Amino acid sequence: MLAAALLLGAALPAVAQTAANPPDTMEARTAACAPCHGKVGEGTQDVYFPRIAGKPAGYLFNQLHAFHVGRRRYPPMNYLLEFLPEAYLQEIADYFAALRPPLAPPEAPTVAAVVARLVAAEPKAGQTEAIARLLRKVQSMSPEERDRLRDEHVSSRTKPDLA
């Protein structure tokens, strides 16, 4: 019975299960760029993987070419670009140059981060202890108090000077 099934199966034409063809668009072709550079080249929080959307096409092509020929070394980029033709690198550069995703909103700095940055900036004599006291006070505040303090600081900086 098994032999008959195998013979019957061998006599039938093989039908491959094929998924629908993926779209042949530059967006689909550059999907490999998304994990590092963002879905539409907008970049990520990691500065090591920059925003590439909206950069000049010539600049992008030069960077792609440098990875392509090994002048710039980063193994994932070198691997992806090594065998692509120059004309296709130009198409990729043109594609990302034409994209204009919105910029991410700037992060509101926390008071603790600003104070820590002040301490690291080698303050003048006498300021170190004052900054340290301020940092301890801010750290002892509740999150709501810190939010209110930040909001007051931000709103005071954005009011126009009418004097």
Look up residue 59 and give its two tokens: 């600049």
Q: What is the pTM of this model?
A: 0.56
Going by pLDDT thresholds of 50, 70 and 90, the confidence category of residue 92 is very high
Going by pLDDT thresholds of 50, 70 and 90, the confidence category of residue 155 is low
Cα distances (angstroms) measured from residue 113 to each of 107, 125, 137: 12, 21, 13
Judged against a pLDDT cut of 90, whether residue 108 lies above it is answered with no
* Range in 48-57, 100-109, 110-119 with the lowest mean pLDDT: 110-119
In the chain, which segments carry CATH 1.10.760.10?
28-98
Check residue 2 and give its pLDDT: 40
* CATH class of domain segment(s) 28-98: mainly alpha
Determine contact, residues 65/85, Cβ cutoff 8 Å: no
**How confident is the model over 113-129, as pLDDT tens digits?**
766 666 666 656 566 67
